[in-house]
Amino acid sequence: MNIQELIRNTISDLYAREVELSQVQLQKTKKEYKGHITLVVFPLLKISQKNPEQTAQEIGNFLIKKESFISEFNVIKGFLNLTIAPARWIDVLNEINATPEYGIRKAEKDAPLIMIEYSSPNTNKPLHLGHIRNNLLGYTLAEIMKANGYKVVKTNIVNDRGIHICKSMLAWEKWGNGETPESSGKKGDHLIGDYYVKFDKAYKKELSELQSAGMTQQEAEEKSALMAEAREMLRKWEAGDPETIALWEMMNAWVYAGFDETYKALGVDFDKIYYESKTYTEGKKEVEKGLQKGIFYRKEDGSVWANLTADGLDDKLLLRADGTSVYMTQDLGTAKLRFDDYPIDKMIYVVGNEQNYHFQVLSILLDKLGFEFGKGLVHFSYGMVELPEGKMKSREGTVVDADDLIKEMISTAKETAQELGKLDGYSEEEINKVSRIVGLGALKYFILKVDPRKNMVFNPKESIDFNGNTGSFIQYTYARIQSVLRKYNETAAVEPLDFAPLQPLPLSSKEEALIQLLSEFPATIKEAADNFNPALIANYIYDLVKEYNQFYHDYSILKEENEELKKFRLVLSHNVGKIIKTGFGLLGIDVPERM
């Protein structure tokens, strides 16, 4: 039902004037008024040269005469409320029912290619709650873009070099006594993270002692022997010192094995992984080119800078005095390599909002260096995630570890479901499978239902609730629908549900509302892509489930005596389940068939 196009043609016929499609503003009719679709008349008054009520009345009368699927209308001030005939809603449901992947557009051969970067871990610590939000947003955004007909490359840049990596390496070298993941029984990323924390504690102790001896904090930091050793290790690494490289490769291999386990548990993946240890040299080459072209300048101490005052910003460091690179240098090199590797039409960086300035500068620098894609970079800037207890700090070891949180969510889901009797009669294998689906679903949904631009507090206890706006509530509704369909098909007295087109029949307003909600799924997917906002899909699915549960409570399905009506409600239920599964699939969330 392209009502927007229909109304535009109606206005053209009525007033002999063309109107832009953007002027035909439609919205869902408010619940307190009768109707399904509402036309906002005010933008059309210059064309009609009449008051809002007259304009709405004229358009309504014209539509009623011309279009049989509009059964009636009413006018409330400058709003035209249109009621769609029940027969048309049956047609809509038949169309949805006949389309297995309703709302999903497949990429054509010439579809634009979007690259989405997410995760971006450091190899000096395990993934934590902040990484979970990043990974979920990045993976989900990729799935949503694919569902809108784009080609997508999911990519990761691993921060595997730099002073922070050297801190963990130095601490292991000093105090590790040859400890390995095997000898300690720890995941490799956890083991290395422990040494990062050890370095920080030893460094703070050293600073405290130096300050106690009369130094200022700045003097103590400059005189720190431990930090000097870490910087020397970084210098050796960049110089290709064999022993330093061998230590780096061994410890990174431990970390990568740990990361892979976490990614698998979280259900995210990548098409291509880049490593800063490979891309920073490309970045340094670009900086050298910029120097030769006079885009950048060198200070007396040998450091290289970009003067961005003409762009309303300040000076930006690109190479330190000792020749070592900074994050910006690495990102310049990574961007160049990516556009060399792929014919990218749009590059999206999924990175927290504390890096807004960084990506503003990156876009300007790439543009100055002559890369056409510079200005088109998109920073998908999202808010921080905290726990009820407050902020997390990696150096102090107070972060919420991703692996621990995943285990806790699965365990809590198991306990909660068993307490409510939702796993009665299940085998241990089934209990563990459903607990995993529910636990991870609760975690993902709780994070993804929040507008990504907002800071959020993640509360594990609140996330697993079989009532309210939670993944568990939605999953339970899906399982309930599958149970209804199974019961119908298992009944010996009737044929299994067939999906031949339904014939017109009278519908309740609740049933019409459900079909209308289902019909909005494709537009929701498009809006989520246009606005880089997975929360739109999460909250759409919740609204659909709320509406369905009210219908389920008010209307009989299996006990309905009218066979045509029974079949309609079963087909309606099946398609609600289908959209839940598809929508949750875009969010990377599984649904249990039984619960």
For 174, the domain range is 118-386
> For the chain, how many structural domains are there in total?
3
Residue bearing tokens 């880049």: 274
Same domain, 40 and 129: no
Any idea what the CATH number is for the domain that residue 376 is in? 3.40.50.620
* Per-residue model confidence (pLDDT) at position 496: 64
Q: Kindly state the percentage of the chain with pLDDT values over 90.
A: 82
> Taking CA 349 as the corner, what is the angle to CA 346 and CA 355, rounded to the nearest 5 degrees?
140
At 499, is the pLDDT very low, low, confident or very high (cuts 50, 70, 90)?
A: confident
Of 437, 591, 581, 532, the C-alpha closest to 140 is: 532
Residues 36-46 have a mean pLDDT of 94
Query: Cα torsion at 400, 406, 410, 416 (round to 10°)?
Result: 30
* Per-residue model confidence (pLDDT) at position 439: 94
* Per-residue model confidence (pLDDT) at position 446: 94
The reply to whether 429 falls in a domain is yes
Q: Tell me which of 342, 359, 386 is where a domain ends.
A: 386
The reply to whether 394 falls in a domain is no
How many CA atoms within 13 Å lie on the side-chain side of 542? 21
Q: Which helix (H) or strand (E) is 350 found in, with range?
A: strand 346-352
Q: Tell me which of 84, 104, 130 is where a domain ends.
A: 84
* Per-residue model confidence (pLDDT) at position 390: 53
- Share in percent of the chain as helix, strand, coil (round to 5): 55, 15, 30
Same domain, 449 and 475: yes
At 93, is the pLDDT very low, low, confident or very high (cuts 50, 70, 90)?
A: very high
Same domain, 304 and 420: no
Residues 6+ apart with CB under 8 A from 9: none
Any idea what the CATH number is for the domain that residue 519 is in? 1.10.730.10
In this predicted model, what pLDDT tens digit does every residue of 420-450 receive, in sequence order? 888 888 899 999 999 999 999 999 999 999 9
Task: Identify the sign of the CA torsion 124, 128, 133, 138.
Answer: positive
Residues 153-180 have a mean pLDDT of 95
Same domain, 354 and 239: yes
Strand 304-307 with 315-319, pairing: antiparallel
The reply to whether 89 falls in a domain is no
Residue 534 clears pLDDT 70, i.e. is over it: yes
pTM > 0.85 = yes
Q: Which helix (H) or strand (E) is 306 found in, with range?
A: strand 304-307
Same domain, 422 and 376: no
Q: Tell me which of 58, 84, 110 is where a domain ends.
A: 84
Same domain, 546 and 582: yes
Exposed/middle/buried for 64, CB within 10 Å: 0-12, 13-18, 19+?
Answer: middle
Same domain, 552 and 498: yes
* Per-residue model confidence (pLDDT) at position 393: 47
Residue 120 clears pLDDT 90, i.e. is over it: yes
Same domain, 429 and 534: yes
Tokens at 551, concatenated: 């219908």
Look over the chain and give the mean of its residue pLDDT values, rounded to a whole number: 93
The reply to whether 328 falls in a domain is yes
* Per-residue model confidence (pLDDT) at position 417: 86
The reply to whether 99 falls in a domain is no
* Per-residue model confidence (pLDDT) at position 392: 42
26 pairs with which residues across the strands? Answer: 39
Please state, in angstroms and rounded to a whole number, the distance separating the CA atoms of residues 106 and 139: 18
Same domain, 454 and 567: yes
In this predicted model, what pLDDT tens digit does every residue of 263-321 receive, in sequence order? 999 999 999 999 999 999 999 999 999 999 999 999 999 999 999 999 999 999 999 89
Please state, in angstroms and rounded to a whole number, the distance separating the CA atoms of residues 582 and 554: 26
Please provide residue 365's backbone torsions phi and psi, each rounded to the nearest 5 degrees.
-65, -45
Strand 151-158 with 113-117, pairing: parallel
28 pairs with which residues across the strands? Answer: 37
Rg (Cα) of the chain, in Å, rounded? 29
**Alpha-carbon distance values, 161 to 106, 187, 198, 256, 493 (Å):** 39, 20, 19, 14, 68
Residue bearing tokens 């209804």: 484
Residues 350-354 have a mean pLDDT of 96
Tokens at 584, concatenated: 């949750």
Sequence letter at residue 173: E
Residues 214-239 have a mean pLDDT of 94
> Taking CA 399 as the corner, what is the angle to CA 245 and CA 270, rounded to the nearest 5 degrees?
60
Strand 37-40 with 79-84, pairing: antiparallel
Any idea what the CATH number is for the domain that residue 20 is in? 3.30.1360.70
The reply to whether 396 falls in a domain is no
The reply to whether 208 falls in a domain is yes
Strand 315-319 with 378-382, pairing: unpaired
Same domain, 158 and 292: yes
Please state, in angstroms and rounded to a whole number, the distance separating the CA atoms of residues 120 and 557: 49
Query: Which of the residue ranges 43-57, 147-161, 485-499 would you say has the lowest mean pLDDT?
Result: 485-499
Same domain, 252 and 146: yes
* Per-residue model confidence (pLDDT) at position 395: 43
Residue 394 clears pLDDT 80, i.e. is over it: no
Please state, in angstroms and rounded to a whole number, the distance separating the CA atoms of residues 309 and 320: 20
Same domain, 174 and 314: yes
The reply to whether 393 falls in a domain is no
Residue 1 clears pLDDT 60, i.e. is over it: no
* Per-residue model confidence (pLDDT) at position 494: 60
Please state, in angstroms and rounded to a whole number, the distance separating the CA atoms of residues 103 and 527: 12
